[in-house]
Structure 1
Amino acid sequence: MSETEQRIEVPADPLAGHPASAYFWGHVAGSGDVSDDRIEVVTNDEASAQALAAVAGGDLEHETTSRDYAHDTSITRTEDEYTLSIVDDGDTGLLGRSGALGLPVDGRGNYRFGAFSSYDRELLRGLLEGCGTICFKSSSGTVGISFVHEDRELLELTQELLDDCPVETPYGDLGETSSGGYWFGVDDDAAPEFGTWLYEECEETGLFAPSRRRKLERSLEQADAYDE
């Protein structure tokens, strides 16, 4: 068992209201695929992949992939990719449910996150790590946080979660990406406080991607240095 898995408090039911299940389903919605007999979720961070596996079980596979950057398809990135696969074992169904309709996301745009309403930070963290970007904008000396996904309804739901966020987090309108999906960004002025809140206390739970947190910390440091 890895150090990450040892820190995680695993819920008795991966569909019940719990910080770990909220984080898991945020990832599934952001970078996963759900069918009647399988859930697959992809992450670029090994520790995050181990955390997701600790929550819901399944098998992990690692490979190196090249893909187009979401905002600009002329740019290609090569990165590690960890895929967690959870399949119907034929006895208890998929995560103990008889089909995808018993899950909080069924792969057809029907997202039901009500069970996780008390754990919006973990849910948003999973969504950001699943379909979000963090960067330092050298042109303005600010931190950029955005969400990118092919499903417009998921991004609209993410905006609703931001509306209820305990830190004020204004954001821009939905726009289209060059790859045919959608995106929106958190206002630059709000990004530092939102990002800091999003990763508060995550070390205690293990429910985070260390590489993504490091990217946030580096971006915040660059922004502070720019102001000086």
Structure 2
Amino acid sequence: MSDAVAGTDDGDGAAPLEIEVPADPLAGHPATAYFWGHVAGSGDVSDDGIDVVTTDEESAQVLAAVAGGDLAHDTTTREYAHDTSITRTEDEYTLSIGAERGDGNAEVDDDESNLLGRSGALGLPVDGRGNYRFGAFSSHDRELLRGLLEGCGTVCFKSSSGTVGISFVHDDRELLAAIQELLEDCPANAPYGELGETSSGGYWFGVDDDAAPEFGSWLYADCEETGLFAPSRRRKLERSLEQADAYDE
């Protein structure tokens, strides 16, 4: 059974979008696929809880609607993964889901002390040990990949070639290998390059530039209907595609 949870206002005065979420946060569903993609891409999972970070406020609110938890806002300055000599300052929203899901009192029922209904991180799709069990979301690959892109991906316009670049960057090589397998199985044409090392000590790979427009368009095709997306990331993709089209002209 699914519940409808209020989402975020789109800024034009319209009523907030209703985000449909399943009663079980581990069930195969578009909302859970999107959530766990974000957790794998930019989250930290332990027996003490889950922390997942995003730079998009509306996306953070959607993630909270899916799994609960507390949101905190901060401003951070970080290095670019591909060039540590360049930094950027941006808003950062952290969703924290604690192992204790009670009302904050010292005494909580055993059923309320588990992490998303599990006794520890081991039973979760992402357990902090390099194990990614995305099989439950195989029918929702678009939302899963969208969450992964927004969690650990980059989108840019390459002025030198007039193309759009889509890449995935993470410290965990195994996660990137899992993303590559998802790309191979997705209905959009998304060939990709070999894994490489970043200057910050992590790993990355990119979707082929020629395939980026098709893959990016497919990735965000139904996002307005579900509300499962980061508006700032979609705008970045749309602007990049427009720049590439203008370059060709």
Q: Which runs of 5+ in 2 are unaligned?
A: 1-5, 10-15, 101-107
Give the deviation of 1:37 after TM superposition.
Answer: 2.0
Output aligned runs, 1:47-66, within 5 Å. Answer: 47-66=58-77
Aligned pairs, how many?
228
Distance in 1 separating the partners of 2:221 and 2:118: 33
- Structure 2 residue corresponding to 1:81, chosen from 82, 92, 107: 92
Checking the alignment, whether the CA contact within 8 Å between 2:7 and 2:62 is kept in structure 1 is no
Distance in 2 separating the partners of 1:50 and 1:180: 31
Amino acid at match of 2:115: L
Give the deviation of 1:199 after TM superposition.
Answer: 0.1
Distance in 1 separating the partners of 2:38 and 2:22: 16
Residue aligning to 1:28: 39
Residue aligning to 2:235: 214
Cα 1:2–1:16, aligned 2, differ >3 Å: closer, same or farther?
Answer: closer
1:127 equivalent to 2:148? Answer: yes
Residue aligning to 1:156: 177
Give the deviation of 1:201 after TM superposition.
Answer: 1.1
Distance in 1 separating the partners of 2:152 and 2:226: 21
Which runs of 4 or more aligned residues in structure 1 lie more than 4 Å from their structure 2 counterparts after TM superposition? none
TM-score (norm 2): 0.90
Distance in 2 separating the partners of 1:23 and 1:167: 18
1:145 equivalent to 2:166? Answer: yes
SS in 1 for 2:81: coil
Give the deviation of 1:216 after TM superposition.
Answer: 0.2
Amino acid at match of 2:8: E
Distance in 1 separating the partners of 2:152 and 2:8: 25
Residue aligning to 1:197: 218
Checking the alignment, whether the CA contact within 8 Å between 1:174 and 1:184 is kept in structure 2 is yes
The percentage of aligned residue pairs carrying the same residue is 84
Output aligned runs, 1:177-196, within 5 Å. Answer: 177-196=198-217
RMSD of aligned residue pairs (Cα, Å): 1.0
Amino acid at match of 1:216: L
Distance in 2 separating the partners of 1:48 and 1:86: 16
Amino acid at match of 2:26: L
SS in 1 for 2:28: coil
Distance in 1 separating the partners of 2:49 and 2:222: 32
TM-score (norm 1): 0.98
1:170-200 superposed Cα distances (whole Å, 9 cap, x missing partner): 0000000000000000000000000000000
Cα 1:204–1:60, aligned 2, differ >3 Å: closer, same or farther?
Answer: same
Distance in 2 separating the partners of 1:6 and 1:146: 29
Checking the alignment, whether the CA contact within 8 Å between 1:7 and 1:204 is kept in structure 2 is no
| Higher-RCO chain (CA-CA 8 Å, sequence separation at least 6) | 1
